[in-house]
Chains A and B, each alone.
Chain A
Amino acid sequence: MQTFFIVLILAFGFLITFQIAKASEYVAVLRGEEKARKQTNRINAFLLLAFLVVGLIGVYYCNERLKGKILGESASVQGDKIDTMLYITLAITGVVFFVTQILLFWFAYKYQESDKRKAYYYPHNNKLEIIWTVIPAIALTALVGFGIYYWFKITGDAPQNAMQVEVTGSQFKWEFRYPGRDGVFGKKYYKQINPEQNNPLGQLWDDPYNHDDVITSELHIVVNKPVKLIIGSKDVIHDVGLAQFRMKMDAVPGTPTTMWFTPKFTTKQMVEKSGDPDFVYELSCDQMCGKGHYGMRGVVIVETQEEYDRWIISQKSQYSQAHPVQAPQKTLPADTTKGVAVNLNK
């Protein structure tokens, strides 16, 4: 019923608008088309100026209302660089925005049709055109320069001491694999994937490096310690989006990708900083992956080294879960840890 009334009101409003519009044309004919046209011309010129003024106020108001709702300080060292770049760009484009918009609407208002003025025949001016080719070119060179500088810093190789976590997306969840004590990920092959037999990532059990690998559903990382994510997907393209850290990388089936960053604040520090007791870092899927895309959420916990160590030790290796009888935790081959101890976190 309600819908019906809304439709009725809309139709009615439309009918009235249309009748007024039609009548205004008849009135224009009666009053002399030229005169009526000049009047609407003045009205529209005024409205353009009003639109500029109200629009600029709107830009300010919108910023006041929403600036507190964007993310606040970046939670990663690399994210700070991205924010700096964002502000440099904002400053340059902001100036251009205000200058050009004001000129556009001001010119439209100022040079509205008038019997007193003749349009000025001004087909070109090479000097002017060179000026506004060169100035944007310089501004953009600066932006490209800064941009590429930060880009290489962020996408360059991860530091040697970075901890490594493997992230795997699938419809519609995230799984994280830690290399365990040996610091090396065991081999895997997608045809071995078998969630029922506790092998969700297709680990090859005859590879000893696999025996201590841990799979979790939450991403735990250590504050102030670089972390390198090795990203993959089981089915379609997903994307590891870490808005607070300003990081993002696609998860592509068949083509592993990587990204690394250094978290600045633990989850607890963020709770204090934001004054929000429920604060949590979230991992969002940013590449459309099917009907559950909007709910493909992961939780990231940033903690101190001690907290992390306690947590990782409490995790059972996937091998032990897949082989409950044959491989109790104690009998893990100890010799594999020696050769690769460099990669260990402690």
Chain B
Amino acid sequence: MSNEANLHGHTEIVTTHEVHHDEHHVHHHKETFITKYIFSQDHKTIGKQFLITGIAWAIIGGLFSVLFRLQLGFPDQTFPILETFFGRYAKGGQIQPEFYYALITMHGTVLVFFVLTAGLSGTFANLLIPLQCGARDMASPFLNMLSYWFFFLASVVMVSSLFVSTGPASGGWTMYPPLSALGDANQGSKLGTDLWLVAMALFVVSSLLGGLNYISTILNMRTKGMSMTRLPLTIWALFFTAILGVLSFPVLLSGFILLLFDRNLGTSFYLSDIFVSQTGQALANEGGSAILYQHLFWFLGHPEVYIIILPSMGIVSEVLAVNSRKPIFGYMAMVGSLFAITILAFLVWAHHMFVTGLNPFLGSIFVLLTLLIAVPSAIKVFNWLTTLWRGNIRFTPATLFSIGFVSLFISGGLTGIFIGNSTIDIHLHDTKFIVAHFHIVMGVASFFGMFAGVYHWFPKMFGRYLNNTLGFIHFWVTIIGAYLIFWPMHYEGLAGVPRRYLDLSGWHNFNHFGELNKMITVVSIIVFAVQLMFIFNFFYSIFKGRKVRHQNPWGATTLEWTTPIRPGHGNWTGEIPEVHRWAYDYGKDGREFIPQTEPIGKGESHH
């Protein structure tokens, strides 16, 4: 096995067949605190680092949303405490427009990239790929470590941008030029945007290092017998996620670099015919196209939403199968639909640009390709439903979050059919309908997948369980809250209320949603508080949670549950187990489940 040689100093494990070896005996080379917990090359530790950094970012990003919801829900009230913390940004206890736009920009950037990309795929790709493929570590543990540290560096730069005197970037998470290119037109487009771009460039590097590693590990380092069609769906989903990232992040990076040039070197890639009224100056730039940036941005930007949702789909498929004690229905169709989504994800980006003056004929092609995505999505939903059908379902917090994911994915997916159709998009573009749509389908649903994953694999990560009661409260408050926040928001969008408006009182036709906005704000504060409770549960349980005493607590078939309860670096104490069957033999031939490592018995039925 090529992956044995990969971990230098571990060759002896292959020869020692004593399974009763204590875990720390596996590590014959010296591990200091720094190599074990900080500059660790163990994929499990790196996964946890991604998760915990992601959690820190989620608190920041979530808090920002609570702050701007305060403004939206109570536009005429003052909150002196805000002035205490944010000074001139919240003069008189009211959030100033520049601050509001900085908050929404950072909320979007942080949650899309730092939480739902790094925190979600970073965590589960690192944790699960070697464990479920049967490898001792990633193809390149060193690059994997670099991937985390580039992410950390990106985080440091991004955090530092919050503290510069002109404020952080405030051009919206999409950072469209010319707004993001002209410091004179927008406070946040001064130093804040340069730092934002640098942080994002570092983030892209991190994402590429991770993605290449995930792909090569999945392709080359599967254990004996683990053919591609025996892989659990989590791995398939993470595989396609990595491919999407590797192929589209570089395009985003090119877009950002051109923007940096326009900002600092006087080039005109995106700038043309501009007169800045603040300075009374006409800029020299001519011949650039602001729309070019949008193409470059959305060429990643759209695959990005699938980068966010695919890992959740994989996790949900796995968790639903394990806990309904049934095989996932239509395994090959699930893989096929993931593949179809991956291909189509590259061909739909301009549906974000229907009203930019795009050629209508081109627009119609993008309508067709966009609505096509609904077909593989529908297949997935029906397959999940059939997986539940005639199962014997255990409602762990992970199962509940998975069911919640399917519900949210349906709701948010269907509204996508509205706005993916250019005709309807003319009316709904850039309204609250869009906000409601993508928060449900990409934001909350992906979070549900992530929560499902955390609850399900927490025992593998830390050898302890999360508190279940808190888990149930977490689920119920979050799903009810999510629907209360985002369902009525569609109506605001249908009424044409534009997004990114911090105060509607100046508008005759949009100013009748005051009560609704108050309700949404109150609910979002409650939901945020419950997330803090989850985070408390998370850290408390790492140290004090109920100990896992059974090697395979959920009765699952996959390989990660054949490792010791607290696996060391290298995962298996003896040889890496051989795989003889697919990952979903639940309830077959009257047996509760058959692990992947069990050879096919004589007379066993074929599926």
A residues whose Cβ falls under 8 Å from a Cβ of B: 3, 10, 14, 17-18, 20-22, 24-25, 37, 40-41, 44-45, 47-48, 51, 55, 58-59, 62, 66-67, 69-71, 79, 81-82, 85-86, 89-90, 92-93, 96-97, 100-101, 103-105, 107-108, 111-114, 117-125, 128-129, 132-133, 136-137, 140, 143-144, 146-148, 150-152, 154-156, 170-171, 190-191, 193, 195-196, 202, 234-237, 239, 241, 243-244, 246-250, 252-258, 278-280, 282, 284-295, 297
Q: Does B179 contact A (CB under 8 A)?
A: yes
Besides A119-B390, A171-B278, A241-B496, 18 new A-B residue pairs in contact (Cβ under 8 A), listed by A number: A24-B468, A66-B516, A79-B427, A85-B421, A93-B414, A93-B415, A93-B418, A97-B410, A120-B326, A129-B330, A143-B421, A148-B364, A148-B368, A195-B277, A234-B277, A241-B430, A243-B496, A253-B290
B residues whose Cβ falls under 8 Å from a Cβ of A: 79, 81, 97-98, 101, 170-172, 176-179, 182, 185-187, 271-278, 280, 282, 286-291, 324-333, 355-357, 360, 363-364, 367-368, 371-372, 374-375, 378-379, 381-386, 388-395, 400, 403, 406-407, 410-411, 414-415, 417-418, 421-424, 426-427, 429-431, 467-470, 472-473, 476, 479-480, 483, 487-488, 491, 494-496, 498, 500-504, 506-510, 512-513, 516, 529, 532-533, 536-537, 546, 584, 586-590, 607
Return chain A residues, CB-CB under 8 Å to B187. Answer: 291
Q: A190 to B282, Cβ gap below 8 A?
A: yes
- A140-B372, A291-B97 as given contacts; A108 in contact with B421, CB under 8 Å: no
- A48-B403, A97-B414, A294-B501 as given contacts; A202 in contact with B275, CB under 8 Å: yes
Return chain B residues, CB-CB under 8 Å to A202. Answer: 275
A136 to B226 alpha-carbon distance, docked (Å): 34
Return chain A residues, CB-CB under 8 Å to B276. Answer: 235
A22 to chain B, nearest CB (A): 7
Q: B388 to A155, Cβ gap below 8 A?
A: no
B280 to chain A, nearest CB (A): 8
Q: B430 to A286, Cβ gap below 8 A?
A: yes
Q: B491 to A104, Cβ gap below 8 A?
A: no
A59 to B488 alpha-carbon distance, docked (Å): 9
- A118-B392, A249-B355, A293-B501 as given contacts; A62 in contact with B418, CB under 8 Å: no
A-B CB proximity, top 8 nearest:
A243-B496, A254-B272, A257-B357, A21-B469, A119-B587, A155-B360, A120-B390, A44-B395
Return chain B residues, CB-CB under 8 Å to A67. Answer: 491
Return chain A residues, CB-CB under 8 Å to B385. Answer: 100, 103-104, 107
- With both beta carbons as reference points, the residue of chain A lying nearest to B529 in the complex is identified as A10
Q: B491 to A193, Cβ gap below 8 A?
A: no
A125 to B327 alpha-carbon distance, docked (Å): 12
Return chain A residues, CB-CB under 8 Å to B383. Answer: 129
A–B pairs, 30, beta carbons within 8 Å: A14-B529, A21-B537, A25-B467, A47-B476, A51-B479, A71-B494, A71-B496, A82-B426, A93-B414, A100-B382, A100-B410, A104-B384, A111-B392, A119-B586, A120-B389, A147-B424, A154-B423, A234-B277, A235-B274, A237-B290, A250-B356, A254-B286, A257-B356, A282-B509, A288-B101, A290-B179, A290-B186, A293-B501, A294-B503, A295-B506
A187 to chain B, nearest CB (A): 13
- With both beta carbons as reference points, the residue of chain B lying nearest to A29 in the complex is identified as B546
Q: A123 to B327, Cβ gap below 8 A?
A: yes
Return chain B residues, CB-CB under 8 Å to A3. Answer: 79, 81
Q: B360 to A151, Cβ gap below 8 A?
A: yes
- A255-B291, A291-B101 as given contacts; A190 in contact with B275, CB under 8 Å: yes
Q: A151 to B407, Cβ gap below 8 A?
A: no
Return chain B residues, CB-CB under 8 Å to A146. Answer: 423
Q: B418 to A129, Cβ gap below 8 A?
A: no
- In the complex, the number of residue pairs spanning A and B with C-beta atoms less than 8 Å apart equals 379
A37 to B487 alpha-carbon distance, docked (Å): 33
Q: A71 to B495, Cβ gap below 8 A?
A: yes
Q: A104 to B179, Cβ gap below 8 A?
A: no
Q: B331 to A113, Cβ gap below 8 A?
A: no
Return chain B residues, CB-CB under 8 Å to A289. Answer: 179
- With both beta carbons as reference points, the residue of chain B lying nearest to A173 in the complex is identified as B277
Q: A253 to B272, Cβ gap below 8 A?
A: yes
Return chain A residues, CB-CB under 8 Å to B331. Answer: 123-124
Which single member of B176, B391, B529, B587 contacts A237 (CB below 8 Å)? Answer: B176
Which single member of B178, B400, B403, B427 contacts A253 (CB below 8 Å)? Answer: B178
Q: B423 to A81, Cβ gap below 8 A?
A: yes
Q: B185 to A171, Cβ gap below 8 A?
A: yes
Return chain B residues, CB-CB under 8 Å to A191. Answer: 275, 282
Q: A288 to B393, Cβ gap below 8 A?
A: no
A82 to B419 alpha-carbon distance, docked (Å): 11
Return chain B residues, CB-CB under 8 Å to A285. Answer: 498
- A104-B406, A119-B392, A250-B356 as given contacts; A147 in contact with B473, CB under 8 Å: no
Q: B491 to A62, Cβ gap below 8 A?
A: yes
A280 to B507 alpha-carbon distance, docked (Å): 10
A209 to B186 alpha-carbon distance, docked (Å): 35
A241 to B469 alpha-carbon distance, docked (Å): 48
- With both beta carbons as reference points, the residue of chain A lying nearest to B323 in the complex is identified as A113
Which single member of A18, A108, A136, A152 contacts B374 (CB below 8 Å)? Answer: A136
A108 to B399 alpha-carbon distance, docked (Å): 10
Q: A235 to B277, Cβ gap below 8 A?
A: yes
Return chain A residues, CB-CB under 8 Å to B410. Answer: 96-97, 100-101, 104
- With both beta carbons as reference points, the residue of chain B lying nearest to A108 in the complex is identified as B403
A138 to chain B, nearest CB (A): 10
A123 to B383 alpha-carbon distance, docked (Å): 10
A169 to B515 alpha-carbon distance, docked (Å): 32
Which single member of A14, A40, A122, A286 contacts B472 (CB below 8 Å)? Answer: A40
Q: A133 to B379, Cβ gap below 8 A?
A: yes
Return chain A residues, CB-CB under 8 Å to B291. Answer: 252, 255
Return chain B residues, CB-CB under 8 Å to A96. Answer: 378, 410, 414
Return chain A residues, CB-CB under 8 Å to B391. Answer: 107, 111, 119-120
A161 to chain B, nearest CB (A): 21
- With both beta carbons as reference points, the residue of chain B lying nearest to A135 in the complex is identified as B378
Q: A193 to B427, Cβ gap below 8 A?
A: no
A255 to B356 alpha-carbon distance, docked (Å): 10
A72 to B586 alpha-carbon distance, docked (Å): 53
A49 to B531 alpha-carbon distance, docked (Å): 24
Q: A288 to B171, Cβ gap below 8 A?
A: yes
Q: A278 to B508, Cβ gap below 8 A?
A: yes
Which single member of B177, B277, B289, B324 contacts A119 (CB below 8 Å)? Answer: B324
Return chain B residues, CB-CB under 8 Å to A234. Answer: 273-275, 277
A41 to B277 alpha-carbon distance, docked (Å): 64
Q: B426 to A111, Cβ gap below 8 A?
A: no
A51 to B407 alpha-carbon distance, docked (Å): 11
B231 to chain A, nearest CB (A): 15
A113 to B332 alpha-carbon distance, docked (Å): 27
A279 to B511 alpha-carbon distance, docked (Å): 12
B412 to chain A, nearest CB (A): 11
Return chain A residues, CB-CB under 8 Å to B272. Answer: 253-255
A237 to B185 alpha-carbon distance, docked (Å): 11
Q: B488 to A66, Cβ gap below 8 A?
A: yes
Return chain B residues, CB-CB under 8 Å to A295. Answer: 503, 506
